[in-house]
């Protein structure tokens, strides 16, 4: 009996469905094994003959499954099985460019909903999984997160290792490991590396700061940096640097660069605007030479009612980030009991709903994007938007402060505009007679009508470059956002005619 090699070259979203009918490779539970093909004679080179008689070498799969079943039945006679600390003896075998890895499948199921779902469907994946588009170093770095040699620190310590961990954790939906990698790369990655990795792996929090850093630095992009960046990002950086540095002897302040990037890089102007309109002269950019104050950290919690210290911290954060607020961080302190408290603070200390609505698109995208990525946020998101809508409806607009707020109608119109933009892309993607059968081509075509349309779509579902390589993420986020939109219609924050 011979085991067939399965090719799982890392695609947009690796599917595990093809493993359901594969033949078994099983053994008694043991520690993870890594062997090179040169040192392990029974397993010849993948390029030569594949893995032959692997099942026979490991034992008869029927008898192994039977032993496992008998063992579990015996454990049940001893008492109640602990829900967390009873493990099976099932393994996954990966072949990465001639190197073999044999690891416990339960670790993949425990840390990845994607693997958990497919392993539950398949029972177990019984053929070697071939990964030809990553290196053994990448795989070893990733597995070191599941099998650390020390309880005090991680084995990975270089940019290359953590970048590999981020890519695989994103592709395979190991969310906790992805968060670890993002935190580590915050200090290891350069602005260019953050821009590239952020685009590839949908780390939105890196994009804006990376643009700002690259626009502020003294030196221009190097040849190697040009090669690693996309043409669109190169265009944004070079045009921004030219506008900000033209005829200047001093370095633009961070405040000036943040303002420019927020206005021209993160939210492109409508293509329908007069094409002859030139880029603004440097003097048109805010040239206030005051240095930005250091960013204020958020409170860890938001009480009801909020304490003075909590309000100071939240107000300072909203003010320091008033141009392009990191609302994703703000949402982490929200819960069902403090929604109203937060909304009052946002009205009193933030700019999201004032300044004639200039900043409301950023806030709206952040709310809808979080719901698209995390379905459990949807009830909170609906409550948040409903509460703000009611506050704006009841706003007396009797003095200068109240008059600066947008109206409830403007607020709801902003929601409708974002929904209309993403719906138009969905309609094009889901057309019964699409212009192209290929997912990537359909997505590029659907988002190419206007620059603003693509910017809005990416603000709600993620970077298109990421989505074309991760179709599962596109599908899941689209389904979540549709559910979010339906809930907003049910709550009468959004008119059903706009969906």
How confident is the model at residue 288, as a pLDDT? 40
The mean of the pLDDT values for the chain is 75
How confident is the model at residue 432, as a pLDDT? 63
Q: How far is it, in rounded angstroms, from Cα 27 to Cα 68?
A: 10
How confident is the model at residue 499, as a pLDDT? 59
How confident is the model at residue 476, as a pLDDT? 93
Mean pLDDT of 42-52: 34
How confident is the model at residue 17, as a pLDDT? 42
Q: How far is it, in rounded angstroms, from Cα 52 to Cα 78?
A: 40
Whether the bond between 360 and the residue before it is cis, its omega within 30 degrees of 0, is no
How confident is the model at residue 403, as a pLDDT? 62
Residues 6+ apart with CB under 8 A from 334: 302, 342, 380, 384
How confident is the model at residue 295, as a pLDDT? 44
Select the highest-mean-pLDDT range: 107-111, 160-164, 329-333, 350-354: 160-164
pLDDT tens-digit map of 63-97: 446 666 777 787 788 778 777 666 667 888 899 99
Lowest-confidence pick of 114-123, 155-164, 421-430: 114-123
Confidence band of 290 (pLDDT split at 50, 70, 90): very low
Mean pLDDT of 465-492: 91
pLDDT tens-digit map of 443-466: 888 888 666 788 788 889 988 888
> Residue 99's beta-bridge partner residues?
36, 96
Domain-by-domain residue ranges, the chain? Answer: 6-133, 211-284, 351-498
pLDDT tens-digit map of 186-210: 888 999 999 999 999 999 889 888 9
CB neighbourhood size of 193 (10 A): 17
Whether 336 has a pLDDT exceeding 80, the answer reads yes
- The pTM for the full model equals 0.51
Whether 278 has a pLDDT exceeding 90, the answer reads no
Lowest-confidence pick of 65-69, 181-185, 293-297: 293-297
Select the highest-mean-pLDDT range: 126-140, 345-359, 388-402: 126-140
Phi-psi region of 288 (alpha: psi -120 to 50; beta: other; left: phi over 0): beta
Q: Kind and range of the H or E element at 203?
A: none
Confidence band of 320 (pLDDT split at 50, 70, 90): low
How confident is the model at residue 325, as a pLDDT? 52
Whether 398 has a pLDDT exceeding 80, the answer reads no
Percent pLDDT > 90 in the chain is 26
Burial tier of 427 (Cβ tally within 10 Å: 0-12, 13-18, 19+): exposed
Q: How far is it, in rounded angstroms, from Cα 212 to Cα 295?
A: 15
């Amino acid at each position: 009996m011979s085991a067939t090699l399965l090719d799982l070259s890392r695609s947009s979203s690796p599917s595990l469905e093809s493993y359901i009918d594969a033949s078994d490779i099983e053994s008694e539970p043991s520690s993870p094994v890594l062997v090179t093909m040169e040192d392990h004679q029974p397993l010849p080179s993948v390029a030569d003959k594949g893995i032959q008689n692997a099942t026979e070498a490991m034992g008869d799969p029927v008898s192994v499954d039977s032993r496992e079943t008998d063992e579990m039945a015996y454990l049940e006679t001893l008492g109640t099985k602990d829900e967390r600390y009873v493990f099976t003896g099932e393994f996954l075998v990966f072949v990465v460019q001639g190197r073999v890895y044999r690891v416990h499948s339960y670790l993949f199921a425990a840390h990845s909903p994607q693997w958990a779902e497919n392993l539950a469907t398949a029972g177990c994946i019984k053929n070697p999984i071939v990964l030809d588009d990553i290196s053994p170093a990448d795989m070893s770095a990733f597995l070191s997160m599941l099998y650390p040699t020390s309880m005090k620190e991680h084995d990975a310590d270089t940019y290359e290792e953590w970048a590999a961990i981020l890519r695989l954790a994103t592709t395979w939906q190991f969310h906790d490991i992805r968060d670890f990698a993002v935190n580590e790369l915050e200090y290891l990655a350069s602005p260019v590396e953050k821009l590239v990795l952020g685009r590839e792996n949908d780390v939105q929090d890196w994009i804006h700061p990376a643009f700002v850093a690259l626009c502020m630095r003294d030196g221009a992009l190097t040849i190697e940096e040009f090669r690693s960046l996309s043409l669109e990002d190169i265009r944004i950086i070079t045009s921004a640097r030219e506008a900000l540095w033209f005829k200047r002897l001093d370095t633009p302040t961070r405040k000036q660069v943040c303002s420019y990037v927020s206005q021209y890089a993160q939210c492109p102007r409508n293509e329908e605007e007069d094409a002859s309109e030139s880029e603004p002269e440097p003097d048109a950019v805010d040239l206030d030479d005051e240095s930005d104050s250091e960013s204020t950290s958020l409170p860890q919690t938001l009480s009801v009612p909020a304490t003075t210290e909590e309000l100071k911290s939240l107000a300072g954060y909203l003010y320091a980030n008033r141009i392009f607020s990191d609302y994703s961080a703000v949402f982490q302190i929200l819960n069902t009991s403090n929604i109203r408290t937060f909304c009052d603070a946002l009205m009193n200390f933030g700019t999201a709903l004032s300044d004639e609505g200039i900043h409301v698109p950023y806030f709206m995208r952040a709310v809808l994007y979080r719901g698209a990525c995390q379905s459990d946020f949807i009830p909170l998101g609906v409550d948040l938007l409903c509460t703000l809508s009611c506050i704006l409806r009841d706003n007396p607009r009797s003095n200068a402060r109240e008059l600066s707020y947008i109206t409830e109608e403007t607020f709801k119109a902003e929601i409708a505009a974002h929904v209309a933009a993403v719906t138009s892309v969905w309609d094009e993607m889901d057309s019964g007679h699409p212009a192209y059968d290929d997912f990537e081509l359909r997505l590029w075509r659907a988002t190419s009508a206007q620059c603003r349309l693509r910017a809005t779509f990416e603000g709600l579902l993620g970077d298109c470059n990421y989505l074309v390589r991760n179709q599962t993420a596109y599908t899941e986020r689209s389904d979540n956002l549709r559910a979010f939109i339906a809930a907003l219609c049910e709550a009468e924050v959004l008119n059903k005619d706009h969906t």
